[in-house]
Amino acid sequence: MNISKRKLLLIEYGKIVLKEIEGVKLPSTDSDIVRMKKIQEILGLDHDGVMREVSEYLEGTVSRD
Amino acid sequence: MTFELPKQTNEELRPLREGIEGVGMDWKVPIEKIEKLVEGDPNLEEMLEDVLDQCLRYTKSVLDERFMLETEGRGDEHEAWSKSRAITHNATQDTLRAFARNLIRSGKTATDIYPLLPNTESRASCGQFALRLTLSRGVKTEQSK
């Protein structure tokens, strides 16, 4: 998998998680959960592993602000 | 009247912050410890809500900007998202500064606060903390299922 595709998956995963955090306003849908599981499978990581990678990727962009 | 942290605080407390800033450490922010810090003080509890909301806004702005960059590349539209991200970053640093200042005013010591909060004088540290804080909430939510 190329780096750009991996980054897009991490971004997509992060966006779904944020929707989940905002649960009261916008409940997670079943399709979101299925998609999260699919992304975990593609990346070969569990939820915690994906979240760690999302965090590392986003943190690496902070100095560009 | 303004209240400033002592100048030596940042250097002296660097080892205490390594749990948040250090490479290779657990990336998750211990939100429950921060909640404990404000427990019983309605003003601080409200400020913590503001911190959580602002960090969430910042994380969203970063994800949106990154998505735009990865899908559309650099251009006018990406530039607009990038500016929005920078403005949200500034607001996040201001919110974290105010929170830390008010914790000190309430009688908490720097030793209580800075193992949990970032160096609020560092823009990058505030941004990284905001991302970790928000994503830590995501881990918590998933684990509670």
What DSSP string runs through B87-119?
HHHHHHHHHHHHHHHHHHHTT--HHHHTTTS--
To the question of pTM greater than 0.90 for the whole model, the response is no
Mean pLDDT of the region B113-124: 92
Sign of CA dihedral A45, A30, B31, B60: positive
In chain B, what residues touch A59 (CB-CB under 8 Å)? 127-128, 131-132
Whether residue B56 lies inside any domain: the answer is yes
Residue B39 domain boundaries: 29-138
Whether residue B75 lies inside any domain: the answer is yes
pLDDT band with cut points at 50, 70 and 90 for residue A20: confident
Mean pLDDT of the region B19-29: 57
| Of residues B19 and B77, more confidently modeled | B77
In chain B, what residues touch A14 (CB-CB under 8 Å)? 59, 63, 135, 138
Residue A26 pLDDT: 56
Highest mean pLDDT among A18-27, A50-59, B17-26 belongs to: A50-59
Residue B104 pLDDT: 94
Query: Residue A5, exposed/middle/buried by CB under 10 A (0-12, 13-18, 19+)?
Result: exposed
Residue B130: give its domain's CATH number: 1.10.287
Contact B63 A15 (CB under 8 A): yes
In chain A, what residues touch B127 (CB-CB under 8 Å)? 59, 62, 65
Whether residue B54 lies inside any domain: the answer is yes
ipTM of this model?
A: 0.89
Q: Number of structural domains, chain B? A: 1
Q: Which residues of B touch A (CB under 8 A)?
A: 27, 56, 59-60, 62-63, 66-67, 70-71, 85-86, 89, 123-124, 127-128, 131-132, 134-135, 137-139, 141-142
Whether residue B134 lies inside any domain: the answer is yes
pLDDT at B5 over 50: no
State percent of chain B over pLDDT 90: 62
Whether residue B24 lies inside any domain: the answer is no
Inform me whether the C-beta atom of residue A7 falls under 8 Å from chain B C-beta atoms. Answer: yes
Number of C-beta neighbours around residue A28 at 10 A: 18
| Of residues B37 and A3, more confidently modeled | B37
Query: What is the separation of C-alpha B122 from the centre of its chain, rounded to a whole number of angstroms?
Result: 11
List C-alpha distances in Å: B66 to A41, B100, B141: 22, 29, 24
Whether residue B65 lies inside any domain: the answer is yes
Contact A65 B59 (CB under 8 A): no
Using CA atoms, how far apart are residues B53 and A21, in angstroms rounded to an integer? 10
Whether residue B44 lies inside any domain: the answer is yes
In Å, how far is B5's CA from the nearest CA of chain A?
Answer: 24
Whether residue B124 lies inside any domain: the answer is yes
pLDDT digits (tens, 9 = 90+) for A22-39: 875 555 677 888 899 999
For chain A, give the longest Cα–Cα distance: 36
